Amino acid sequence: KAGVTQTPRYLIKTRGQQVTLSCSPISGHRSVSWYQQTPGQGLQFLFEYFSETQRNKGNFPGRFSGRQFSNSRSEMNVSTLELGDSALYLCASSKDVNTGELFFGEGSRLTVL
């Protein structure tokens, strides 16, 4: 069974640009969550999608957005990049976040210069 796939794995952007990250969940998983991981703040929740609906959003500015498609694949977008957006962005899938474990992808490491 294939795991959670995130693309791209690494990317470098400059301030002001925008970025789109993609996540393909495990087959059959309908919940996709996104987390931002930085050394100082740990794993911070961005948003969660279930059956194409955003069920919850973390405390991040509106520059951070996401969506989920009918095949459960998800994308997140960050516009007007700032230096502080440099982080590892992790996607995790589950059958339902309240019933069990999250399966994380390898992450997309974003560097903003």
Partner 1 sequence: GQQVMQIPQYQHVQEGEDFTTYCNSSTTLSNIQWYKQRPGGHPVFLIQLVKSGEVKKQKRLTFQFGEAKKNSSLHITATQTTDVGTYFCAGPEGYSTLTFGKGTMLLVSP
Q: d(Cα 13, Cα 47) in Å, to the nearest integer? A: 22
Q: Measured in whole angstroms, how far is the alpha carbon of residue 18 from the centre of its chain?
A: 15
Closest-CA residue to 102 (of 40, 43, 54): 43
Contacts for 43 with CB less than 8 Å, ≥ 6 apart: 35, 36, 37, 90
List the one residue from 34, 74, 105, 112 that touches partner 1 (CB under 8 A).
105
Report if residue 93 touches partner 1, rule: CB under 8 A: no
Report if residue 35 touches partner 1, rule: CB under 8 A: yes
Stretch that binds partner 1, among 13-21, 36-44, 65-73, 75-83 (CB under 8 A): 36-44
Residues of this chain that interact with partner 1 (CB under 8 A) are: 31, 33, 35, 41-43, 45, 48, 50, 55-56, 58, 90, 92, 97-98, 100-107
